[in-house]
Chain A
Amino acid sequence: MAANEVDVFANEEKRNLELGGHVGFDSLPDQLVSKSVAQGFCFNILCVGETGIGKSTLMNTLFNTIFENEEASHYEQEVQLRPQTYDLQESNVNLKLTVVHTVGFGDQINKEESYKPILEYIDTQFEKYLEEELKIKRSLFNYHDTRIHICLYFIAPTGHSLKSLDLVTMKKLDSKVNVIPVIAKADTVSRSELDKLKIKVMSELVSNGVQIYQFPTEDEAVAEINSSMNTHLPFAVVGSLDNVKVGNKMVKARLYPWGSVQVENENHCDFVKLREMLLRVNMEDLREQTHARHYELYRRCKLEEMGFKDTGPDSQSFSLQETYEAKRKEFLVDLQRKEEEMRQMFVNKVKETEAELKEKEKELHERFEQLKRMHQEEKKNLEEKRRELEEEMNAFNRRKVAAETLMGQALQGCSQPFKKDKDKKNFFSLPSACSLTSGRNLN
């Protein structure tokens, strides 16, 4: 049966066969090369270093062109990254070069968060590639790969050792990208100081477990040169695009009153070594490492986060689709649950507010009642007072009437003056009462 045949074939050992003549598949590498040359290459460099340390100048010197770059200010609030893409061509090989510079690195007073924007940028590039990979309709061969292939970390030549910021940043970066430390502005360090500095820097990196990029030594063609270069790390570089006449040649150099530092002179600085390693020997290896090591690590972490596993609890491999479906269902259920929750919350809140409002209404009502009662009481009091006053008025009127009648009697009794001496008193007291009342009547 067919199934058994397939099994038989799979269990057979693979044999090495001798060729009878020239077949011609030794041209496969050439085919690969011509295909990739036609496609064009892509290389992304990230330069991390303090403002003014010479990142742009070094890039200009390395690629022998002037990349447009304005001077950065020292007063940025946060570290930012500025990517720029260029298309370069050298003897029919097209290179799409992206150079990313950090702006404002090391300028802030509090540098604890300085490494974060850099990590974010690197992760974002990985994320974009992962997205492209997971798409249903994807075009990876056409995709502009922006993942950072190499990070050049510029160390300030202070002469003693690494700065604390350098150590912290390189530690965070070493698992995400290939890091190559370089000592910038190396024309300020004399030979003996330079050796000491290199040793100190490397020992500090090693003792803190920072894994910088090691040039590969497996391939015999480049093993020797690579292993010797590994001992010269970190490279002490000087960058310059100014041409200075030395002897009878024009070379790239920096001209000082006491001499000129030639960029391409191996006795003066390690620029040539850096260029060899970076561009001429190991560029492809850097790209490979980025894809095979750093990107795979990122991808694994990301997918594990999302809940994917390669092997299930009974050691059976899951397929991505099944897991994906399961995840999707889970996610939808989650979403529904959350919606319900939110609706509940909303209803609860509405109820609460209603209850509050009711209470307030009750309170207002009570107050109203209270005020009404008070009002009534006061009205009563006022009524009483009015009555009292009226009574007094009546009493007074009665007295008035009484007084008038008495007056009338008194006038009548005037014809009998001596009869009532007793009344004299009254008589004399009366006129006052009379005048009062008359005065009153007038009013």
Chain B
Amino acid sequence: MTASSRYRSRVPRPEDAEEKEYVGFATLPNQVHRKSVKKGFDFTLMVAGESGLGKSTLVNSLFLTDLHKDRKLLNAEERINQTVEITKHTVDIEEKGVKLKLTIVDTPGFGDAVNNTECWRPITGYIDQQFEQYFRDESGLNRKNIQDNRVHCCLYFIPPFGHGLRPVDIEFMKALQDKVNVVPLIAKADCLTPLEIKKLKERLREEIDKYGIKIYQFPDCDSDEDEEFKRQDKELKESTPFAVIGSNTVVEARGQRVRGRLYPWGIVEVENPSHCDFVKLRTMLIRTHMHDLKDITSDCHYENYRAQCIQTMTSKMNADKRVESPIPILPLSTPDVETEKLIKMKDDELRRMQQMLQKMQQQMHEQDL
């Protein structure tokens, strides 16, 4: 059930119009639809994980294009001291008149070096940089053509070879949980039997709860959605984290040409829901929740960043007593930390003096007696 058909089914039929006076604003959804098609959409997706887990293959499978031509893969010895880089690929794709400007941010080198302390620094730095850029644009004078380069979603690839989350996974997700929507995925899921997948997913969910990692939560669907949608939603929520397989090659299976991986013992079909969760991921990421991801990024993560930014700027200015920032200052509703401290100190002093005064009065009183 596509979004547009859902909207259309809500438009009151002309028969209803005869019963009460038909105003006509029920066509607003259609107008929104039309305008948005005209404007086009943009989406920034970040993929992170160790090298060799199938990130590029998965992205190619998701968007059915080949984004990574002429990729240079490093040797093991070159990777001993590698630092994390950030690479960006932007493509414009179109489907049924809807234009999408897709940006894929790749993080080659993550977790590849022998010493991976703070290897997520460049990544958090990049995300903050995009936020800052948007902040400046938003507060500028000419706001007609703001480019939204903020990262809307980060797919984190967890290797299936272990028993659960590793320390580097936990550190990374914790560092990013407040800046971007983190969606963890189990990569290369064709090395796990269905039972093993179930165990690993449970393990991962437990550990994510235990360590308090805030991953992207699917929004609860409205109670007036139809049953089919609710069931789908429930299924989706219960199968996180998704176990995915990616493939760019087309193989012949059961008389059909499908995307898959050919093994001597069988063929793994990427789009077969009983083989892996690729279809669920695609549904979630592209077909149903893309806009929700964007909303949460701009309403939640970006607003947090913005509030923090403003607070630090004004507190710095109070300390320096200089008015230099190019961004206009909004009146602070919350008192500054420093002035609060001063007020507290003065209060304490006053109280002490009052106590002393009282004591002296008492003494004099006793003397007079």
Contact = CB atoms under 8 A, between A and B. Distances in A.
The answer to whether A and B assemble together is yes
Contacts of A187: 190-191, 263, 265
B264 A191 contact: yes
Contacts of A25: none
Given A74-B162, A159-B52, A257 B76 contact: no
A160 B57 CA distance: 13
B75 interface: yes
B167 A107 contact: yes
A393 interface: no
A110 B75 CA distance: 20
Interface string A43-68: 00000001111100000000000000
B198 interface: no
A159 B188 CA distance: 10
A109 B77 CA distance: 18
B241 interface: no
A322 interface: no
The interface centre, meaning the residue of B76, B77, B166, B272 with most chain A CB atoms within 10 A of its CB, is B76
Contacts of A185: 161, 191
Contacts of A255: 193
Contact of A108 (B51, B162, B167, B264): B167
Contacts of B80: 164, 167-168
B208 interface: no
Contacts of B79: 163-164
B262 to A, nearest CB: 6
A165 B52 CA distance: 14
Nearest to A204: B76
A365 interface: no
Contacts of A158: 50-53
B114 A161 contact: no
Contacts of A73: 163
Contacts of A258: 263, 265-269, 275
Interface string B143-179: 0000000000000000111111111100100000000
B114 A257 contact: no
A167 B160 CA distance: 21
B77 A204 contact: yes
B161 A110 contact: no
Chain B's interface size range is 35 or more
Interface of A is mostly: loop
B112 interface: yes
B243 to A, nearest CB: 12
B83 interface: no
A188 interface: yes
A277 B44 CA distance: 51
B77 A112 contact: no
B194 interface: yes
Contacts of A188: 160, 188, 190-191
Contacts of A75: 167
Contacts of A167: 76-77, 80
A427 to B, nearest CB: 44
A161 B75 CA distance: 7
The interface centre, meaning the residue of A52, A164, A267 with most chain B CB atoms within 10 A of its CB, is A164
30 contacts: A50-B161, A52-B163, A54-B161, A75-B167, A109-B116, A109-B168, A110-B114, A110-B115, A111-B114, A156-B52, A157-B191, A158-B53, A160-B73, A161-B75, A161-B76, A162-B76, A163-B112, A168-B80, A168-B114, A184-B161, A185-B191, A190-B262, A191-B262, A254-B193, A257-B194, A257-B272, A258-B265, A258-B266, A258-B268, A267-B264
Interface of A: 50-54, 71-75, 107-112, 156-168, 184-185, 187-188, 190-191, 204, 208, 254-262, 267-268
